[in-house]
Amino acid sequence: MTGLIDGLGRRTLELLRILGHHATFFVDLLRACPAALRRPYLVVAQIHAIGNLSLVIIVASGMAVGFVLALQMYYALVTYGASESLGLIVNLSLTRELGPVVTALLFAGRAGTSLTAEIGLMKAGEQLAAMDMMAVDPKSRVLAPRFLAGIVSMPILAVLFSSVGILGAYVVAVLLIGVDAGNFWSIMQSGVDVRRDIGNGIVKSIVFGFICTFVALYQGYEAKATPEGVAHGTTRTVVIASLGVLMMDFVLTALMFSTP
């Protein structure tokens, strides 16, 4: 009985310790951001590493998702004679949900892991400690540019994912199946609202970019300075970032789209 209570107490304290650690790390990171902004080239180089190099996988996945979504929706809608609404359904599902969420999951896998591994190895090679010795703050020199770059890159990637997905759906629906092009676009235009659907999708993707980059940086910075430590950190980045994104997506959807 006492062992049970001990265990409960230990776990609660551990949870609080981890939460506090995240919070202090976050505050440090925010405090380091102005210094990073004063050297914008660092941020630009990281946007290149995080954003530009993720472009191929994001565009390819967006195209594939658009193709498949158009085909599946066509099979379902054609029974009701509503195949013209296909564009609207594809657009809403991409801009509201799939664009931000799938991009965030791919982003965690493509960019998050590389951030964690890079920073974990820097730590294992004692580069961060060396920077500290030279009075260079590793948080503002290494972490903050990556953090800002992640937050900037993610919405751009999500918007591109949605756009390419819609174009992919257009290719399948209009060019291959033969849905009327005018109806495809006009039903889409009458049903999609810029602020409500597209704007909220972009807000979502900014939040997800924030989650993914923060988790990746934290796991890299706090990884044990061994090969296993870095490996565990990378795994945890993908798991925690993906779960965080999915849970946050539910909360955001409930807040944004509760009124019809």
Partner 1 sequence: MGKKSIETFVGIFVLLGMAGVVFLALKAANLGSFSGADTYTLTAYFDNIGALKVRAPVRSAGVTVGRVAAIKLDPKLYQGVVELAIQRDVQFPTDSSLRILTSGLLGDQYVGVEPGASDKMWAAGDSVKQTQSAVVLESLISQFLFSKAADAGGAPAPAPAASGGKK
Q: Which positions touch partner 1 (CB under 8 A)?
A: 41, 44-45, 47-48, 51-52, 55, 91, 95, 153, 155-157, 159-160, 162-163, 166, 185, 188-190, 192-194, 197-198, 202
Q: Which is nearer to partner 1, 169 or 240 (CB)?
A: 169
Q: Which is nearer to partner 1, 66 or 120 (CB)?
A: 66
| Helical segments of the chain, H only | 2-37, 40-50, 55-78, 86-92, 99-107, 113-124, 127-133, 138, 144-170, 181-191, 200-221, 227-256
Contact in structure between 238 and 113 (CB atoms under 8 Å): yes
CB of 47 to partner 1, least distance (A): 5
Q: Which is nearer to partner 1, 15 or 167 (CB)?
A: 167
Q: Which is nearer to partner 1, 95 or 114 (CB)?
A: 95
Contact in structure between 61 and 102 (CB atoms under 8 Å): yes
Query: How many alpha carbons fall within 13 Å on the CB side of residue 26?
Result: 11
CB of 185 to partner 1, least distance (A): 7
Cα first-last separation, the chain: 51
